[in-house]
Protein backbone atom coordinates (compact mmCIF):
# COMPACT_ATOMS: atom_id res chain seq x y z
CA UNK A 1 0.00 0.00 0.00
CA UNK A 2 1.28 3.40 -0.89
CA UNK A 3 1.89 5.83 1.87
CA UNK A 4 0.36 9.27 1.40
CA UNK A 5 2.45 12.22 2.56
CA UNK A 6 0.62 15.14 4.10
CA UNK A 7 0.36 18.28 2.05
CA UNK A 8 2.71 21.18 2.90
CA UNK A 9 -0.27 23.09 4.24
CA UNK A 10 -1.21 20.23 6.60
CA UNK A 11 2.40 19.80 7.62
CA UNK A 12 2.68 23.50 8.53
CA UNK A 13 -0.57 23.33 10.49
CA UNK A 14 0.70 20.30 12.39
CA UNK A 15 3.97 22.06 13.23
CA UNK A 16 2.12 25.15 14.49
CA UNK A 17 -0.24 23.02 16.59
CA UNK A 18 2.66 21.07 18.06
CA UNK A 19 4.56 24.28 18.81
CA UNK A 20 1.61 25.92 20.53
CA UNK A 21 0.83 22.85 22.59
CA UNK A 22 4.40 22.40 23.78
CA UNK A 23 5.17 26.12 24.13
CA UNK A 24 2.06 27.06 26.12
CA UNK A 25 3.48 25.92 29.48
CA UNK A 26 6.75 27.73 28.73
CA UNK A 27 4.91 30.97 28.01
CA UNK A 28 2.89 30.57 31.17
CA UNK A 29 6.07 30.07 33.20
CA UNK A 30 7.64 33.23 31.77
CA UNK A 31 4.66 35.41 32.69
CA UNK A 32 5.66 35.74 36.34
CA UNK A 33 3.22 37.15 38.86
CA UNK A 34 3.64 40.81 39.72
CA UNK A 35 6.34 41.52 42.31
CA UNK A 36 5.37 41.35 45.95
CA UNK A 37 8.00 43.97 46.81
CA UNK A 38 8.80 47.40 45.36
CA UNK A 39 11.68 49.68 46.24
CA UNK A 40 11.91 53.43 46.53
CA UNK A 41 14.57 56.05 47.18
CA UNK A 42 12.72 58.14 49.76
CA UNK A 43 15.48 60.73 50.03
CA UNK A 44 15.14 61.41 46.28
CA UNK A 45 11.34 61.62 46.46
CA UNK A 46 11.54 64.11 49.32
CA UNK A 47 14.33 66.16 47.71
CA UNK A 48 13.27 66.08 44.04
CA UNK A 49 9.49 66.33 44.25
CA UNK A 50 8.00 69.79 43.76
CA UNK A 51 6.66 69.82 47.35
CA UNK A 52 10.03 68.71 48.72
CA UNK A 53 11.89 71.38 46.74
CA UNK A 54 9.46 74.06 47.89
CA UNK A 55 9.79 73.01 51.54
CA UNK A 56 13.58 73.02 51.11
CA UNK A 57 13.51 76.55 49.69
CA UNK A 58 11.35 77.77 52.56
CA UNK A 59 13.60 76.13 55.14
CA UNK A 60 16.72 77.60 53.52
CA UNK A 61 15.12 81.07 53.53
CA UNK A 62 14.36 80.73 57.25
CA UNK A 63 17.91 79.54 57.95
CA UNK A 64 19.40 82.39 55.91
CA UNK A 65 17.24 84.92 57.78
CA UNK A 66 18.47 83.55 61.09
CA UNK A 67 22.10 83.62 59.93
CA UNK A 68 21.73 87.25 58.84
CA UNK A 69 20.14 88.23 62.17
CA UNK A 70 22.91 86.58 64.15
CA UNK A 71 25.65 88.05 61.98
CA UNK A 72 24.21 91.52 62.66
CA UNK A 73 24.03 90.84 66.40
CA UNK A 74 27.57 89.49 66.37
CA UNK A 75 28.83 92.67 64.67
CA UNK A 76 27.04 94.74 67.33
CA UNK A 77 28.69 92.71 70.08
CA UNK A 78 32.10 93.07 68.48
CA UNK A 79 31.59 96.85 68.15
CA UNK A 80 30.48 97.08 71.78
CA UNK A 81 33.49 95.04 72.93
CA UNK A 82 35.85 97.33 71.02
CA UNK A 83 34.13 100.41 72.48
CA UNK A 84 34.62 99.07 75.99
CA UNK A 85 38.32 98.50 75.28
CA UNK A 86 38.68 102.08 73.94
CA UNK A 87 37.09 103.75 76.98
CA UNK A 88 38.84 101.46 79.46
CA UNK A 89 41.42 104.07 80.40
CA UNK A 90 38.82 106.88 80.46
CA UNK A 91 36.41 105.40 83.02
CA UNK A 92 36.78 104.25 86.60
CA UNK A 93 37.03 100.59 87.55
CA UNK A 94 33.41 100.27 88.77
CA UNK A 95 31.99 101.67 85.50
CA UNK A 96 34.32 99.44 83.49
CA UNK A 97 33.16 96.33 85.43
CA UNK A 98 29.49 97.33 84.99
CA UNK A 99 29.99 97.63 81.20
CA UNK A 100 31.88 94.34 81.01
CA UNK A 101 29.17 92.54 82.99
CA UNK A 102 26.44 94.04 80.80
CA UNK A 103 28.40 93.00 77.71
CA UNK A 104 28.86 89.44 79.06
CA UNK A 105 25.12 89.23 79.77
CA UNK A 106 24.34 90.25 76.15
CA UNK A 107 26.92 87.71 74.91
CA UNK A 108 25.29 84.92 76.98
CA UNK A 109 21.87 85.97 75.68
CA UNK A 110 23.23 85.89 72.13
CA UNK A 111 24.53 82.33 72.67
CA UNK A 112 21.23 81.19 74.23
CA UNK A 113 19.21 82.79 71.40
CA UNK A 114 21.41 81.16 68.80
CA UNK A 115 21.01 77.72 70.37
CA UNK A 116 17.25 78.27 70.69
CA UNK A 117 17.05 79.30 67.02
CA UNK A 118 18.96 76.19 65.93
CA UNK A 119 16.54 74.03 67.92
CA UNK A 120 13.52 75.85 66.45
CA UNK A 121 14.92 75.44 62.94
CA UNK A 122 15.48 71.71 63.56
CA UNK A 123 11.89 71.39 64.82
CA UNK A 124 10.67 73.22 61.71
CA UNK A 125 12.64 70.83 59.46
CA UNK A 126 11.19 67.86 61.31
CA UNK A 127 7.66 69.29 61.00
CA UNK A 128 8.10 69.86 57.25
CA UNK A 129 9.34 66.28 56.83
CA UNK A 130 6.36 64.95 58.78
CA UNK A 131 3.97 66.92 56.55
CA UNK A 132 5.69 65.77 53.36
CA UNK A 133 5.49 62.15 54.50
CA UNK A 134 1.84 62.60 55.52
CA UNK A 135 0.96 63.86 52.04
CA UNK A 136 3.12 61.21 50.37
CA UNK A 137 1.64 58.20 52.21
CA UNK A 138 -1.55 57.87 50.09
CA UNK A 139 0.52 58.22 46.91
CA UNK A 140 2.77 55.35 47.99
CA UNK A 141 -0.24 53.24 48.95
CA UNK A 142 -1.75 53.81 45.51
CA UNK A 143 1.50 52.77 43.81
CA UNK A 144 1.62 49.61 45.92
CA UNK A 145 -1.95 48.74 44.97
CA UNK A 146 -1.29 49.41 41.29
CA UNK A 147 1.87 47.28 41.40
CA UNK A 148 0.13 44.63 43.52
CA UNK A 149 2.97 44.92 46.01
CA UNK A 150 2.76 43.89 49.62
CA UNK A 151 5.94 45.61 50.78
CA UNK A 152 7.75 48.84 49.87
CA UNK A 153 11.35 49.09 51.00
CA UNK A 154 13.65 52.07 51.02
CA UNK A 155 16.51 51.31 48.69
CA UNK A 156 19.02 52.46 51.32
CA UNK A 157 18.16 49.28 53.24
CA UNK A 158 18.64 46.93 50.27
CA UNK A 159 21.88 45.45 49.06
CA UNK A 160 20.68 44.45 45.60
CA UNK A 161 17.35 44.66 43.75
CA UNK A 162 16.12 44.46 40.19
CA UNK A 163 15.77 47.87 38.59
CA UNK A 164 12.14 47.27 37.61
CA UNK A 165 11.17 47.12 41.29
CA UNK A 166 12.17 50.78 41.81
CA UNK A 167 9.14 53.10 41.91
CA UNK A 168 11.02 56.32 42.76
CA UNK A 169 10.34 58.17 39.50
CA UNK A 170 6.72 57.04 39.52
CA UNK A 171 6.35 58.28 43.11
CA UNK A 172 7.86 61.69 42.29
CA UNK A 173 5.49 62.19 39.34
CA UNK A 174 2.44 61.03 41.31
CA UNK A 175 3.36 63.15 44.34
CA UNK A 176 3.89 66.22 42.18
CA UNK A 177 0.36 65.75 40.83
CA UNK A 178 -1.37 65.78 44.23
CA UNK A 179 0.86 67.52 46.80
CA UNK A 180 -0.41 70.83 48.12
CA UNK A 181 1.63 73.69 49.58
CA UNK A 182 1.94 74.02 53.33
CA UNK A 183 3.30 76.59 55.72
CA UNK A 184 6.90 76.26 56.85
CA UNK A 185 7.63 78.65 59.71
CA UNK A 186 9.67 78.77 62.86
CA UNK A 187 7.82 78.16 66.10
CA UNK A 188 7.78 81.15 68.41
CA UNK A 189 10.70 81.40 70.84
CA UNK A 190 10.02 80.14 74.33
**185 occurs within a structural domain:** no
- Give the model's pLDDT for residue 89: 86
**89 occurs within a structural domain:** yes
Tens of pLDDT, residues 161-178: 999 999 999 999 999 999
**189 occurs within a structural domain:** no
> Would you say 39 and 152 are in contact if contact means Cβ atoms under 8 Å apart?
yes
Higher pLDDT, 150 or 22: 150
Residue 147: phi and psi, rounded to 5, are -85, 0
Tens of pLDDT, residues 8-39: 565 455 555 555 545 555 554 566 666 699 99
Whether this prediction's pTM lies above 0.85 is answered by no
Consecutive H or E run containing 121: helix 93-147
How many structural domains is the chain composed of?
Answer: 1
**100 occurs within a structural domain:** yes
Q: How far is the C-alpha of 63 from the C-alpha of 43, rounded, in Å?
A: 21
Domain region containing 124: 34-178
> Would you say 189 and 116 are in contact if contact means Cβ atoms under 8 Å apart?
yes
Amino acid sequence: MARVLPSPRRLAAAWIAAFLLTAAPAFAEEAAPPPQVVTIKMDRVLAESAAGKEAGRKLEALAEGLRNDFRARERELKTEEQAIAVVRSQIDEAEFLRRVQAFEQRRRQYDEDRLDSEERLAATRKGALVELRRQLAPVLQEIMMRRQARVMLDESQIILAARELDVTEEAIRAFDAVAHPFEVRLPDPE
